[in-house]
Amino acid sequence: MAVTSLVAASDGPSFDCAKASSSAEKAICADPDLAALDRKLHDVFTEALAKAKGGMAQVLKTEQRGWIKGRDECWKAKGGETACLRVEHRVRITELQARWSLVPARGPVAYVCQGNPSNEVVATWFESELRSVRVERGDRTVIAYLVDDAPGGARYEGPSLSLREADGGVRVTWLGEKLDCKPK
């Protein structure tokens, strides 16, 4: 009996389904694929937390609580709660993997934009849950997700950012500014 309980616990989500209170938690408990995504997110979050130093651990915990509140709003999603939960989990897993460098990466690659050495973009591509790139410019960092893998160059989208690989460099739109960037 104890072995069966351990197996059942490893098949469920990261939380106790008997205490599930939100519709999101209940949906996760009812769907084995969502339960597996929840376990994966828990493992990735735990790995990120182990890398967080100083006050960053508390910041990461606070962000996770905020993410959970957002996830619990999936009941409002037009495409349905289950589809929303799948997307939310995969995006959060990807964000943590890229931000905390938890998966294999290519880069970082520094690019000079508009031919100006002081106008630099640094990109690191990750083999994350969803293919992603972490883009740094100045003191800002944005995680962007693959949206198109066309033969002319992959395109990634993130908050206020678009990046397309093209002609040995990248074309970036950063906060509305269009940049043509070549490797340093």
| Domains of the chain (ranges, CATH numbers) | 2-99 (no CATH), 105-183 (2.40.128.200)
**CB 110 within 8 Å of CB 183:** yes
139-165 burial, b if ≥16 CB within 10 A, otherwise e?
eeebbbbbeeeeeebbbbbbeebbbbb
**CB 111 within 8 Å of CB 182:** yes
User: Residue 53 gets which letter from DSSP?
Assistant: -
89: three-class secondary structure by DSSP:
helix
Residue 73's CB is within 10 A of a number of other CB atoms, namely 14
Model pTM score: 0.85
**Residue 171 structure tokens:** 């074309």
Evaluate if residue 87 carries a pLDDT over 60: yes
Evaluate if residue 8 carries a pLDDT over 90: no
What pLDDT, on a 0 to 100 scale, did the predictor assign at position 45?
Answer: 97
